[in-house]
Structures are given as structure tokens and as C-alpha cells.
Structure 1
Amino acid sequence: MTVLVIAEDEDREFLVEPGEEFGTDLGVLEVPEGVEPGAVIETHLGTAFRVRRLRGPDLFHHFERTGAPMIPRDVGLVIGETGVSVDDRVLDAGTGTGVLAASMARAGASILTYERDPEFAEVARENMALANVSDAVEVRTGDVLEAVEAGTFEAPFDVLTLDTEDAPSVVERAPDLLVDGGFVAVYSPFIESTRAVAGTAREVGLSGVRTHETIQREMQFDERGSRPSTAPVGHTGYLTIGRNG
């Protein structure tokens, strides 16, 4: 299983396989076959590396990217607002890099996710293997609406998550796709599509429909005092939640 090694005296980290010989400008690192998280190993030049088990935030940074992935705080909002947990079945569309699908699988759910771009879908499958969730995440290449029309999967699902341009059209089918009490979560970077999603959700009878802007400010502490960082505002998009029944 892939692990993370962190250079103790530098801001450097690498993904390695146990039993691998890994070369960097800090020296050659021989990773023992049975290495455990917390172990410290050294390169032939004496640079110390600490071994860590991969966790969700690490996957966000080390997944191969096919675009802008959903960031950890947005993933947390989706999981928190929908209650995704063990034994849930999730239908996801707009896989992209696969950060959300992998995170929900690591929470114990089974995910069926659709990605239109074949190359993106293949990268997502590789990322699922890195996250050790290939058994819980099925990445299909195709359009989720076409799959709905063709009846190529068994509904209902516990949760429906969408990050696609045609999200309003999928939300229109949400009552048939979700169990009673199941949740839909739609992420969008644009207000116009978000408004269409919220309107459609209400029209088809979903309850508790609400939209949040996802925004976060990092705090800055120095000798002059404490205040929010002067870096750009941490806006990423809009999250709409609704419930079936």
C-alpha cells in the first residue's frame, strides 16, 4: 500500500511503495517492505524521512488531476450535510479527479460515479486505486442522464451528488433516484446554474432546499496582531442541498 514520506527538515513529501528504492536530490531512500506509519528512515545521504499513512487531505494533494478538484472543505460540507456513511449507496456524476467519490468511499459508502470524458474516467480509476477504494467506487464512462433513461443501474440510492453542467436535469429525476429521506447535494461554481438547481429541486417536491456559498478565510497571526489573511477571498462555489420526501 502506498505511503507518504515527509522530509523532517524540509517541506518535501513523496508517495512511495513499501519495498521501493526511491531516488531524490536528498538521496536514495530504501523503503522497507513492512514499513509502518511513524517510522523514520534515512536516505544514503542521511536525510531523515518520516512515514505516514495516506489520509484524505493527502489524497487531495497527490491525486493526479484532470481539472480543479473539489477542495477538502467542500467535501466535508457534502458529507456533513448528507450524512454519507457506512452502507450508503451513492450516485455521483461529474467524477473529475475523484476526490469526492474517494472521500465518501472512505466514509464507508459504495459509490457509482459517472464521468463523460474517457481520459478523466481512467485517471479517476487510478486515483481510486491510490486511495485503496477501488472495491467501493465504480467509475463509469458516460452521461448519467443517458444511464437513467437506459436503466443501466438499480435505483434508489441514499445520496445523489452532482458536479455537472446538466445538474438541474438530473435533479428533476431525484425523486425516482433517491430513497425516502435521501439527500441530493449539488456543487456549482456559478450562481445561474445554482439558481436553476434550487428551483428545480423545489418544483419536484424536494424538502429543505437550501444553498450555501462555500467560503473560508485563513487567519493570519504575527507580531502586529491577528486578522484574516489578506490573500484573495476563499470562495470556491455554491452547494445546494435537498431531501426526498
Structure 2
Amino acid sequence: MSKVALVTGGTRGIGAAIARGLKEAGYTVAASFVGNTAAAEEFREETGIPVFRWDVSSSEECRRGVDEVTQALGPIEVLVNNAGITRDRAFRKMSDEDWHVVMNTNLHSAFYMTRTVIEGMRERQYGRIINISSINGQRGRYGQVNYSTAKAALYGLTKALAMEYARRGITVNAIAPGHIDTEIVRSSSPELVASLLAEIPVGRLGTPEDIARCVCFLASEQADFITGSTITANGGTYLI
């Protein structure tokens, strides 16, 4: 029986590519979403991947959502914490709401989701937790104090959890995408896209599939000696 993988924010953009990639790799995949029902239904019809709606920024909703997935598909053995949002603006104009909504969705959700699945992983002595962070959590970016802070915090979460659960057969890793060719980027001005390309030594934007391949590797048996690590997938934009 194939392992069950859950991808939060898994019906659009990078999340959708991750969900597709895991399905192609032989996993039974579930994708969560919260806002765009039409896009989620289109994704489900196109891929055959079941979709589940809940708000990952709510601890209670995460418990409910995981229960639904588990009842429908079985225990979750791979969790990809991908859900995220932006509320970009200069720090002096950033409101309390701008700060809290980004922290709740981009950081607190990873805590809620992981806490909900990890005891089952511990009992089964097996699990893969993969946190999707960002290049901007490594280097920062103008107008993204909230986003960069949340994404940077995921690295600490990843390392500490990896240390706690390494002897329980659970690996915890992160991925730091660079500039990726998503709907948001494609809808940007040509000048902005050109400026992003100018930052990338390999000369192209990343694709959602580039990130999906990283996830599939970290979820696989071949990666069972890798934990507490970050794969930096940015085309050479930022080297650490």
C-alpha cells in the first residue's frame, strides 16, 4: 500500500506541482486549500488528487482536516508544509494584521500541522516532514519583514524538530526556493521579471517542478540519512 502524503496549499502553484510529483512517485496524495474552491475543484478533476478544505492558521481546523484525510486515505506519513501568503509593504506601513496573518499562515500553520501528525509518525517509527521556506527567509527582502521573518523561523523549527525525532525514524527538512515562475510572477510587470532574472546566475526562473523534485527526493527512502537540512534551490541567486 502506498504511503499517504499531505501537501498544504497543494492545489495551486508550487504546492500543486509538489502534489503531482508525489503522486507520480507513487504516493497517495491529499492536497489542502482554503480560498479558491474553483481552482481546487479544477485541480482535483485534472489530477484525481482529493482535495480538502481547511484553514491551516487554525489549530482546531488543522486537527479536523487531518482527521478527514486520515479517515479517507489512511495515516499521513509525509507532510509538506507549503501553505503561505504574502502581505508586502514597507515596515513603517506594516499593520498588526499584516504581521499576524502572515505569521499565522506561514509559520504557525507548520507548528499546528506537524503537531497534529507527528505522534502517529512516532508510533509507526516513520515520517517525513518537509517545510517549504524561501530564499527571502535566508537573505531578507525589502517590503517583506513579515514574510522573511516567518520563513526564517521555519529553519529553526526544522532543525529543532529534526534533533528531537531523529531516533524515531522521522526526518525533518526544509527547502528554500528562489524566484519561481508562478502566477504571481507571470502577472508582474516585464520590468520586475527582468530584474528577477538578472539576479539568477543560471539565467532562468525556477519552475514549480524544480521544487517538486526536491520534495520527492526528501520524501524518499534515499534521503533517510538527511535531516535538519535545507535544500537551497535558487539557481545560484544566493549561496550559503
TM-score between both structures, scaled by the size of structure 2 = 0.46
TM-score (normalised: structure 1) = 0.45
Using CA pairs below 8 Å that are at least 6 residues apart, which structure has the higher relative contact order?
2
Higher relative strand content: 1
Bigger Rg, structure 1 or 2 = 1
More helix by share: 2
